[in-house]
Structure 1
Amino acid sequence: MKESISIQEFLVSPNDLADWHVDSELAADNYNQAIHCIYQLVDEDVDGDVLLGLLEQVWQALAADEYLTEFEDENEIIFWAEQYIETQSEA
């Protein structure tokens, strides 16, 4: 169940992304927004293990990607999150 998962452990600070991004503050803001979007987009009754897997894999999918600082607005982050969830559910 979704409400049993705390997303706080998946949020990052600018320090966490400083090795990959010059603007690590923007990168952290966008990363954290992506985490929040994923959490909001999944069904309320999603299996806890499935949600944990989705949130854990965001690090590999996005943390070092230069695209992280190139999102133009919240809609782009939402679109990325939707695509990410769809791709992960197909795997």
Structure 2
Amino acid sequence: MKEFVVIHDYLVTEGIVGDWDGQEEIVAERVNEIYHTLYDLAEEDIETEVLEGLLALVWDTWIGQEALPEIETDDIYDWCRHLLDNREQHLQQD
């Protein structure tokens, strides 16, 4: 159940994202936007373990992507929607 997942446990700060050549603040904002969007889009009755697994994929997928500082909100929404729609496939890859 979604309400058992505390989104604030996943949010990052500039110090956590590593060196992004002065773009640490924007990178932290983008990662946090991805976390929030995914959480907001998840259905209320999603299994806690499934949501936690999907949230874990955010860091693993995005922290090394050079495009992260430039990603747009629409692209974040689309990625989160895709992840939720294809959760079985993505969670099996773990």
Asked if these proteins are the same fold (TM beyond 0.5), I'd say yes
Match in the other structure for 2:82: 83
- SS of equivalent to 1:66: coil
Q: Which ranges of structure 2 fall in alignment gaps of 5 or more residues?
A: none
Equivalent residues in 2 for 1:10-29, closer than 5 Å? 10-19=10-19, 21-22=20-21, 23-29=23-29
Post-superposition offset of 1:84: 2.7
RMSD: 1.4
Post-superposition offset of 1:37: 0.4
Using the aligned pairs only, state the percent identity: 31
Superimposed CA distance per residue, residues 7-50 of structure 1 (whole angstroms, 9 cap, x where no aligned partner): 1111000111123x220110100100000000011111000000
May I ask how many residue pairs the two structures share in their alignment? 89
Q: TM-score, normalised by structure 1?
A: 0.87
Partners of 1:27 and 1:69 within 8 A in 2: yes
Q: TM-score, normalised by structure 2?
A: 0.84
